[in-house]
Structure 1
Amino acid sequence: MLSSKLVCFALVSLAFGQLYLVASEDTIAVCPTNFTQVADRCLLVDRSWKNFYESDRHCRSLNAGLLSISNPTEFNDINKWLPIIAPYQPEFWTSGNKLGGTADYYWQSTGDKALYLPWSAGQPNATTGDCLTLLANVTMTPEEAILSAHRLTVKPCTQWAPHICQAPLQIFKTQLCLNTTAFFEAKIPA
C-alpha cells in the first residue's frame, strides 16, 4: 500500500515539475561565431578576393551560403549594416546567378527564383556575365570616397570580389527550473 502511494506521489511530483519547466521555457536566437545578426539572418563579410565559385565554397565550409535577398526590408537592413562593417568596400558576391542556361536569376544558397532584384542603373546587362554582386557607386571628393547604397549588378563568375556569407539564426529553447530541489524535498513517512 505504501509503495503504491509512493509511486503515485512520485508521478504527481514529476507532473508538477514538468509544469514548472513549461512555465519557464524561453526561446533565444543566436548567430554562429563571427556572424552578425542582420534582420532575421546571420551575415559575415569576407574581405578576401575570390571568384564566385570559391566564394560559394568558402561559405559552405562555414555551414552557410552566399547572400540572397528576398525583400526590400531585408535589403535596406543590409545596406545600413554594410557601411558599418565594411565602410570602404564597394562590391560583394551574392548567391544570385543564372547558371545552367536559364533566363531567370536564382539564389544559389536557397534554390529560390530571385523575385526581388534591386538593380544598379543600366542593369541587368546579360552580356557582362552570369553572376550577381552587390555594387556601390563610388564618388570621390578631395576629402574622402563616398559609397552609395549597394545595388545588384551582373559580373562574370570568374572575376574576383569579396563576398557575404549568410547563415540562419540558431534557435535554442531554454528551460529554467525555478525550484531545483522541489522533487528532492518530498518527505516520505516511514
Structure 2
Amino acid sequence: MKKAEAELNSAMMASGDIPMEIHTRIGINTGSMVVGNMGTDNKMNYTIMGNDVNLAARLEGVNKQYGTWILVSEETWNDTDNIFAGRKLDLVRVVGINKPVQLYNILDVYSDAPPNVLKLCEYFNQAVDAYQKRQFKEAYLLFDKCLKLDPEDKPSRIFINRINTLIKEGIPENWTGVINLTSK
C-alpha cells in the first residue's frame, strides 16, 4: 500500500493534480470483530466493531508518536511468516486498552528491502532486546548504529533520548519498560 501511495503521489504531483503529497499511516491488528450493517430501520450503518478493531485504530494513531507509517500488533506480526522486514518497538499500553501490546514497525517486504533497511532492522531489534534487559549502554550503541544507517530514524532517536534520561535520572524501581500512551 505504501509503495502504491508513492507511485500515486509521483504521478499526481507530476500532473499537478495535488498541491502536496498524500501520506497515510496504517495500524493493523489480528483478532475477532463484528462486521456488517448495524442499527435500526431508521438509522443503519455498515460498520466494524470490537476490541481488536479498536486496537488497530489506536495503532494507526500511535505512528505519529514514533514517526512511523505502519505499525502492527504482535499477534499480526507473528502471523506474517517473516515476509516483512520490520522491527520490534515498545511494549505499549494504548488509550482505552489496559493490556500492553508489543508493537512492530513494518518497513518493507523482506524480499524487496534494500540491504541498509535489513541491517537497520537487525541492529534495532538487537537494541530493543538490550534495552528491555536494561543493558542501556549496549542498546545506545546499537541505536547509534541505526542512526548511522538512517540519520532521520525517529524511533532510534526516541530510544536514545529515553536511555539518556534513564541514565541521568536513574531507573525507577517499578520500571517495566511498558510505555503508557496518553493520546490516540
What TM-score results when the alignment is normalised by the length of structure 2? 0.23
Q: Is the strand fraction higher in 1 or 2?
A: 1
Greater gyration radius = 1
More helix by percentage = 2
TM normalised by structure 1 equals 0.23
Q: State the structure with bigger RCO (CA 8 A, min sep 6), 1 or 2.
A: 1
